Amino acid sequence: MGLPGDEELVARLRARDEAAFALVLDSWSPGLLRLARSFVSTGESAAEVVQDTWLAVIKGIDGFEGRSSLKTWVFRILVNTAKRRGKREYRTIPASDLGPTVDPAKFGGPGDPFPGHWLELPAPWPGPDQAALDGEVRAQVSAALADLPERQRVVLTLRDVEGYDSAEVCAILEISAANQRVLLHRARAFVRGKLDAYFTDEEVAR
Amino acid sequence: MNCEQFVEQVTAFLDGVMDPAAERRFVDHLAECDGCGTYLDQVRATVRTLGDLPPENLPPEARESLLAAFRRTDV
């Protein structure tokens, strides 16, 4: 579904063109809901955060300065709305977010013949392409997403679920590129690890 | 580069933000190590599956009340 460009969209919203509002409301609400869910635990409160966001957009559209894209601006309002509820802070990476993302026990230690190399090679998953479409695999990924620390979940949701690029995510969350990458990296490694455990266990069960 | 270092560079590699020398070491390791090739494939498959999660919609009542709120703010 093609949306008009920002300039036209903003002009129409300012002219109180309801069709234009319905267009952005329907196009962006699914992504906003998903992002809201990465801050709050229930579907109802996620929907409330999204509603509050749109109300703030309606109120603020006349003051929108176009320093970011309209969509980024709307997503940023959602993040601020959600953060204000929970008084969360995203600017710095706590120490617990540093360190290896793969269990060091999986690699040879300093005394091994091949230090730092896989002790046992990761086993390929059954048909990774087909796995992406499998409902059960999707459920595993959803569960893993829910288990992530919040900041990692927010970044992973924006980058990989919603498909934003790194610069957009930094703009929405107002974090540095390096912080963004650390959070994304840890989150991906975590979800990959959960999937790996799922595929490996399943093989054992067979 | 060893495997333990490789796995920590995967996101930087996929984002294309490694400096050229580090990227060459990464690719050289990839060429030599089946385990890390599998690991990289698995991260890619994970990203694809995440992108495939089904969307959710705003409840119809919420949509209606937002459209009504938009109408009320006539200039």
Q: Which of residues 119-138 of A touch B (CB under 8 A)?
A: 121-125, 128-129, 131-133, 137-138
Angle between helices A177-205 and A166-173 (to 10 degrees): 110
Tell me what pLDDT residue B55 has.
82
How big is chain A by its Cα radius of gyration, in Å?
Answer: 20
Q: Which residue has the tokens 């059954």?
A: A126
Nearest to A118 among B35, B58, B73 (CB): B35
d(CA A73, CA A70): 5
Tell me what pLDDT residue A44 has.
84
- Tens-digit pLDDT profile for residues B7-19: 999 999 999 999 9
d(CA A79, CA A60): 15
* A161·B71 Cβ contact <8 A: no
Contacts of B62 in chain A (CB under 8 A): 47, 50-51
d(CA A47, CA A30): 10
Contact with chain B for residue A185, Cβ under 8 A: yes
ipTM: 0.89
Residue A124: count of CB within 10 angstroms of its CB: 14
Nearest to B62 among A30, A47, A161 (CB): A47
- Tens-digit pLDDT profile for residues A138-188: 899 999 999 998 889 999 999 999 999 999 999 999 899 999 999 999 999
Task: Indicate the pTM of the whole model.
Answer: 0.85
Tell me what pLDDT residue A206 has.
42
